[in-house]
Chains A and B, each alone.
Chain A
Amino acid sequence: SQQGEEDPQALSIQEGENATMNCSYKTSINNLQWYRQNSGRGLVHLILIRSNEREKHSGRLRVTLDTSKKSSSLLITASRAADTASYFCATDKGDNNDMRFGAGTRLTVKP
């Protein structure tokens, strides 16, 4: 069953602008990951943030986690047309492999 919910469902911006996507989840988690999926391709892992972390950076990506609000955000700075893809959050509780994906945000970056 689905755990995370992303919003917005779709986001369209101009190249160079920042893109922010949000993920909310229902139950307590140990880890939250963000993945990217280009059209017709598999998912690619972007970044992991653990429940005891509040913020992580990787290149142009910035992820925050607020466990009190059960939410995370992914910020892509200085977006490029190549960032056009769907972005999914995925959460797990730590044990077994109970990782669940949200429905995703479809990002379009116009050149």
Chain B
Amino acid sequence: DAMVIQNPRYQVTQFGKPVTLSCSQTLNHNVMYWYQQKSSQAPKLLFHYYDKDFNNEADTPDNFQSRRPNTSFCFLDIRSPGLGDAAMYLCATSRDAGWGQPQHFGDGTRLSIL
């Protein structure tokens, strides 16, 4: 089945130690998104790629970076994680951007900071 896969499901890192989360998709969708979701809150969009074009949200901290080396993979890099970065990180894809395109989500990576 075509899907969005996030690895790992659970990630523990130390305060200030860089961490990378990964996402892959077999849907061949043009757009890939990264969301941060804290407990009982709405998913918050960090950035998205439309093909190779990177679109950063205005309030996404500089500590968060992303790479999309090809259509299938997208990475979220947190350069110096702080305690406030502990959250669920969700990757999603859509065929196109906007216009009511449904997004397809992976099951997320839960990040803990020690």
Interface residues of A (CB under 8 A from B): 1-2, 30-31, 33, 40-45, 48, 50, 88, 92-104, 106
Chain B contributes a number of interface residues (CB within 8 A of A) equal to 30
- Complex Cα spacing A88 to B78, Å: 27
B16 at the interface (CB under 8 A from A): no
Contact B100–A50 (Cβ < 8 Å) = yes
Chain A residue numbers with a CB within 8 Å of B99 are 30-31, 92, 94-95
Q: Write the chain B residue with the least CB distance to A88.
A: B42
Given the complex of chains A and B, what is the CA–CA distance between A40 and B101 in angstroms?
Answer: 24
Stretch with Cβ within 8 A of A (4 or more), from B67-75, B79-87, B105-113: B105-113
Please state if A41 and B108 are interface contacts (CB–CB under 8 Å).
yes
Give B41's nearest chain A residue, CB to CB: A103
